[in-house]
Amino acid sequence: MSTAFHRLCLAGTHSGAGKTTLTIGIVAALRRRGLTVQPFKTGPDYIDAGFHRRAAAREPHNLDLWMMGEAAVRRCYEHAAAAADAAVVEGVMGLFDGSGADGSGSTAHLARVLDLPVVLVVNAKAMAGSIAALVYGYARFWPDLEVIGVIANRVSGRHHRELLAAALENAGLPPLLGCLPPDPAWTLPERHLGLISDTESTVDEEWLSPLAAAVEKHIDLDRLLAAARGRRPVPSAADADNTAGPTVHRPAAPLRLGLARDDAFHFYYRDNLDRLAEAGVETVSFSPLADQRLPENLDGIYFGGGFPEMFAARLAANTALIKALHRFAASGRMIYAECGGLMYLCRALIDRDGRRHPMAAILPAETVMENRLHRLGYREATLLADGLFGPVGTVVRGHEFHWSSIAGDTGSTAFYDLRRADGSPAGCAGMRIKNVWASYLHVHFASAPGAARAFARALTTEQS
């Protein structure tokens, strides 16, 4: 770790401007210079963060103001970035797009909270002097936001670059720090939830190396780093999850939580796992695709989201693990599942071609993949039952994003009352049978003081 520290936020004018590719390339290029780079993703997106991990060889973190709140966002950023040489934050959607029309929860809001300088990413295809008008609006819309430069994407050549640079300079706007030419090889493949996850993609060193080399060639990294230099963050001592909520004694020995982690299940917020560790919970990974048995001496199991629909046949074929799950559930120990995890715990998954794949059958319902997005957005959830994240009435926040729906009589009890980000009702949700809790909601533990400790306590409560 060097004595200098650099921080920047890469923000797009809109979704599709190229900020994910540029973030990956800049992180990889800085790492090639010998810098330790800590990547962050604005908002609830799991998939972009996975590509950050590949480029940085370091665990990424999500920073979401609506789910986490300002204090938890600061804490997460400070703790993750303190030991790095550079913090690179990728924005979400357009710079001012957030959970509210006033820009709350947006990339701009996050940059203001964390005092991050912004580099604006512009898709400059078929654009010349108009870049000045575009950048003028973004750079001046919030006067207290520091926009230190512009990176133009899909620039056709030197003359195109010179036109863009001159337009910004003549207008007295933040300078052009560089351009990337169009290259189909850098296109990240997509499917129904957006990008194909890094666990399945071809993003490897052979893909990263040419992108990093292009960034070094076409972007003035020295100028970028000079403009992004700032004070190294100092981690705060206070931890909201450990200083609020009911008193819970930390277990003498770590509780063991089985974490489903493979190509089918890998959507976990790093901050959630860190908070569980602070509450005395050790996570032990296993693969529902490949493992024939569960890890030994587990106190509970956590199934995150992912793409079970893409691996339904393989999941169904692993009957040995499904039998082990049934024995585990019968023992009264807790099983918690989110989104893709819920789909796996149901009786069957019906894919888009109408094929029915038997699943774990821990929950008496089926899920059906639809040809459209079923639910998308932030949710505030009030617990209707004691346990999991706290007593009845505990409020947590999370995010839904799924193309499947639940079919048939579930024979289970809902345990969330949901509201959208605007406060409007979104119905009851969740399926609970005794010690098994499952819903489509991806919960962020930072949204409720004491949530991680309550979750740890629930691991010690067996139900028959």
pLDDT tens-digit series, residues 363-373: 999 999 988 77
> Active site residue: 76, 179, 339, 346, which one?
339
Q: Do domains 6-228 and 241-459 have the same CATH topology?
A: yes
For 6-228, CATH number? 3.40.50.300
Q: How far apart are CA 366 and CA 336, in angstroms?
A: 17
SS3 call for 367: strand
- What is the amino acid identity at position 55? A
172 or 191: which leads in pLDDT: 172
pLDDT at 247: 44
Q: Residues 152-163: what's their mean pLDDT?
A: 96
pLDDT band at 49 (very low <50, low <70, confident <90, very high): confident
Q: Which residues contact 28 (CB under 8 A, 6 or more apart)?
A: 55, 56, 208, 209, 211, 212, 215
Does pLDDT of 348 surpass 70?
yes
Q: Please report, for the chain, the start and end positions of each structural domain, with discontinuous segments joined by +.
A: 6-228, 241-459
pLDDT at 58: 95
Beta bridge partners of 60: none
Q: How far apart are CA 78 and CA 204, in angstroms?
A: 29
What's the number of CA atoms in the CB half-sphere (13 Å) around residue 165?
Answer: 13
Q: How far apart are CA 443 and CA 245, in angstroms?
A: 18
Q: Does residue 320 contact residue 285 with C-beta atoms inside 8 Å?
A: no
For 185-221, write each residue's pLDDT tens digit: 777 665 445 555 555 555 667 879 999 999 999 999 9
Q: How far apart are CA 315 and CA 275, in angstroms?
A: 29
pLDDT band at 238 (very low <50, low <70, confident <90, very high): low
pTM, two decimals, is 0.92
CATH H-level, domain 241-459: superfamily:
Class I glutamine amidotransferase (GATase) domain (3.40.50.880)
Mean pLDDT of the chain: 91
Q: Residues 292-305: what's their mean pLDDT?
A: 97
Beta bridge partners of 382: 395, 417
Q: Which of 229, 1, 271, 30 is nearest to 115 (CA)?
A: 229
Let me know if 428 is a catalytic residue. Answer: no
Q: Which residue has the tokens 């199934």?
A: 303
**Burial class (CB within 10 angstroms; exposed 0-12, middle 13-18, buried 19+) of 372:** exposed
pLDDT at 250: 55
Q: Residues 13-27: what's their mean pLDDT?
A: 94
Does pLDDT of 43 surpass 90?
yes
pLDDT band at 101 (very low <50, low <70, confident <90, very high): confident
Please name the residue ranges forming H helices in 180-259. Answer: 205-218, 221-228, 240-243
